[in-house]
Amino acid sequence: MNEAADDLLFDLNLTDEQRMNRETMQRFAAAEIRDLSLRVDAGETTARDFFPATAELGLTLLQIPEALGGAGMTRSPVSNALILEDLAHGDLALALGATSPLGFVNTLLDQGSDAQREKYLPRFCDGAFTAATTALLEPRATFEPSAPNTTATPNGDGYSLNGCKSMVPLGMDAELLLVIALLDDGKPAAFVIEGSPQGMTRTAEENMGLKGAQLATLTLENVQLPNEALLGDSDFNLQRFIDLSRLGACALAVGTGQAVLDYVIPYCNERVAFGEPVTHRQSVAFLIADIAIELEGMRLMTWRAASRAERGLPFHEEAYLAKIFCAEHAMKIGTDGVQLLGGHGFTREHPVEMWYRNLRAIDTLEGVASI
Amino acid sequence: MINLEISQRHEETFTQVMMLAEHMMRPYSRKYDKAEHTYPAEMEEVNKLISAGRTSATGKPKGSLPEGSVVNGGNMGSVIGLFGLCWGDVGLFLGMPGSGLGNAAITAVGTPEQIKKYGGRYAAMCITEPSTGSDSANISTTAVLDGDDWVLNGEKIYVTDGDRCDTLVVWATLDKSLGKAAIKSFIVEKGTPGCEVTRLEHKMGIRASDTAAISFSDCRIPKENILGSADIATDAEGRKKAFGGVMQTFDNTRPPVAAMAVGVARAALDMARDLLREEGIEVCFDKKPTNSGAIEAELAQLEAEWQAGRLLVLKAAWMADNKMPNSKEASMCKAKAARVGNHITLRCVALCQSLGYSEQHLLEKFARDSKIIDIFEGTQQIQQLIVARRLLEKSSSELK
């Protein structure tokens, strides 16, 4: 009995807490995100008022230690993945923006020093939304996340940063930014940047999609940072940061893929052609079946890697495979979502074309949404 | 609590099975691929070891588990065992003396008496007929009650283990005009007069497994050998339920068949990676696929597809272990694992070029063996149909 009890079993049941939290997230996504996402995407409004409203979800509060004003729960990559999935069911772009502070907080909890946690984390506990983000991507073809070109050169008073970061969520408004760079010895490092120090320019981006995430490009020209800005007491584990971020991107893809599936099912069941619903045709029905099959694969691969991370097991390979699987199939789901609606799918009357544009980013996104 | 690692106990099972597969199956892979229809005597020992393992695994006391406890039981144990055995050789596994698909049917729907009498037999499954493949509701083999006997007449094909088995589970209709509801399954002991193996198929792959055609002419079996009730439901609901009971067997057998695809695909990937490593090509999971060489990128993609198939199989088996209805998930895992299993084995041949195509290695055999897994126990398209009907809430008359 004891032997069996100690043996951790394969299990897909959520904890009660996760179940309740999912309900909250799903309700919020349905009520506050879905409709807004279309208007933000169309440029009719901005998400500027939306992000403060997400404070009620307490996204960043839960895992911050009580001593720093948080709820003192253990950081759970699985619970975080579920949050991202459920918010992305509302909208990928807004979910990415809303959870960017969470990615910043998670990375500080994971790799920051005590002093840095004490300094920054209480700001995420006062019930208001604190815009924070992480910046790894750089604007060049063949960019490899483990080898950024941004440099951090030590000088007398600290470090001087030079380089360019792209697709930084909340990049215009973030008051705290975690920027990844390489040191002179080629080792990666992360730096906490507060506000807009001299030499840093923020430029709002216009992209194929993700309009609501407020993506920005940061240019860093001799940005002088104090020694304390260097994250952590020891070497920054960039690969771990990349892997935890990849799982965030995967979870966002799963949520958006589920949104596509949930949209095409009633639409295609109601759409009549040649005298009957189009779902009476295998060519249509099988596309939908395959969306569901691949989506479940995406979800299980994401959960597996996240649960390994949670248990302290190696998860690099699992995260890598989850990311390439999710990137590939999320795009296929986005494409098929449009296809299933035919010409209507190509118009902006329906969200599927937006999901198509947003899902193209899953492959590209790196270093954001760390769980 | 979400955890997708298999339990320590199942991990141990897997390690043991992999030892068997490597040392007691793989060495005979080519031999029985060449010598089609030859009885694989070496597999008797493997089967004994597997059966012993199965008995000790299920011999644990169960009663002490509190209500609502998560179970990682026989269904998971079975797919995990199959990952290993079919890494060894899917043909040898299918041809392995001792246990066939009929056993699953008897276990799933048999009465305690039937399970007691036939549970330990070697039972093959007779469903397909010369003019009836996926459309299994349309079978023509008849069963007529005559006194205390059922009298069976008809022809069955593609009976896996049909020659080597000692028992058959046969689908037959009590009255074809009544459709699905009249289809029942029957236990027939080999050697019963009127039951005859008429032919063995020559196949592209899984040649170690015998695939038989069996004819039934006035074959008389005892009345109590019917699986389930002999009543034919008359109302729509009852009809649906009756055939549903027969089809329910597939919810239990599809994840194991999907697991075979996972096993053979793993074998191909391992072998291809070994051969490519000799050429200095290694998949390291470091650079993004868009930034790596074509072979590395493809290997990583195949690994990812394989993982997805494996996890879908584990999920479907886990649901069965925990008494959750898993019809949709069983079909999802069969669709995914079987199609990627076939794709992976074929791509591994291509990636290793003439070495992959040569009989000097087993890659070409894996690519031949894997194709059938996307066909038997419900083709790819049948699985998609089942999944689609569930998702879209369509009946079989609406979504045909």
pLDDT at B234: 76
Q: At what angle do helices B8-20 and B74-94 cross, to 10 degrees?
A: 10
CB B386 within 8 A of CB B395: no
> Above pLDDT 90, what percent of chain B?
77
Q: How far is A142 from chain B (nearest CA, A)?
A: 6
Nearest CA in chain B to A325: B304
CATH number of A135-229: 2.40.110.10
Note the pTM of the prediction, 2 decimals: 0.94
Instruction: Judge whether B329 counts as a catalytic residue.
Output: no
Q: Contact B314/A15, CB-based, under 8 Å?
A: no
For B54, half-sphere exposure in the C-beta direction (CA atoms, 13 angstrom radius) is 18
Is B324 at the interface with chain A, CB within 8 A? Answer: no
Q: Give the DSSP H or E segment for A219.
A: strand A216-226
pLDDT at B68: 78
Per-residue pLDDT 10s for chain A (371 aa) are 344 456 899 999 999 999 999 999 999 999 999 999 999 999 999 998 999 999 999 999 889 999 999 999 988 999 999 999 999 999 999 999 999 999 999 999 999 999 999 999 999 998 899 999 999 999 999 999 999 999 999 998 899 999 999 999 999 999 999 999 999 999 999 999 999 999 999 999 999 999 999 999 999 999 999 999 999 999 999 999 999 999 999 999 999 999 999 999 999 999 999 999 999 999 999 999 999 999 999 999 999 999 999 999 999 999 999 999 999 999 999 999 999 999 999 999 999 999 999 999 999 999 999 99
- Average pLDDT over chain B, rounded to an integer: 92
Q: Is the pLDDT of residue B173 over 80?
A: yes
Per-residue confidence (pLDDT) for residue B232, from 0 to 100: 85
B15 touches chain A (CB under 8 A): no
The more confident residue out of B108 and A186 is A186
What's the CATH class of domain B237-392? Answer: mainly alpha
**CATH 1.20.140.10 fits domain A238-359:** yes
ipTM value: 0.96
Nearest to B201 by CA among B193, B209, B191: B209
Residues with Cβ within 8 Å of residue B240, at least 6 apart in sequence: none
* Tens digits of residue pLDDT in B24-58: 999 999 999 999 989 999 999 998 898 887 766 55
User: B211-222 and B149-160 as β-strands: parallel, antiparallel, unpaired?
Assistant: antiparallel
Can you give the pLDDT at residue B55? 64
**Mean pLDDT value across residues B331-346:** 98
C-beta atoms surrounding B342 within 10 Å: 23
* A10 in contact with chain B, both atoms CB, cutoff 8 A: yes
Give the pLDDT band of residue B242 (cuts 50, 70, 90): low
Q: Which residues of A touch B309 (CB under 8 A)?
A: 297
The confidence score (pLDDT) of residue B243 equals 67
| Cα–Cα dist B157/A282, whole Å | 28
Size of the A and B interface in Cβ pairs below 8 Å: 161
User: Between the CA of residue A103 and those of A59, A170, A363, what are the distances in Å?
Assistant: 10, 12, 18
CB contact under 8 A, B387 and A292: yes
Break chain B into its structural domains and give their ranges. 8-105, 122-233, 237-392
The superfamily CATH assigns to domain A2-130 is: Acyl-CoA dehydrogenase/oxidase, N-terminal domain (1.10.540.10)
Note the pLDDT of residue B59: 46
Instruction: Assess whether pLDDT exceeds 70 at residue B61.
Output: no
**Which pairs from B236-240 meet CB under 8 Å and 24+ separation?**
B238/B181, B239/B179, B239/B180, B239/B181
Q: What is the pLDDT of residue B109?
A: 84
Q: Fold for domain B122-233?
A: Butyryl-CoA Dehydrogenase, subunit A; domain 2 (2.40.110)
Cβ atoms A334, A101 nearer than 8 A: no
- Residue B388's pLDDT band (boundaries 50, 70, 90)? very high
* CB-nearest partner of A7 from B9, B289, B301: B9
What single-letter DSSP state applies at residue A275?
A: T
CB neighbour burial string for A276-305, b if at least 16 within 10 angstroms, e if fewer: ebbbbbeebbbbbbbbbbbbbbbbbbbbbb
For residue A128 the two structure tokens come to 């208001």
Give residue-wise pLDDT tens across range B176-206.
998 888 999 999 999 999 999 999 999 999 9
List chain A domain ranges.
2-130, 135-229, 238-359
pLDDT recorded at residue A6: 64
Cα B51 to its chain centre, rounded Å, is 17
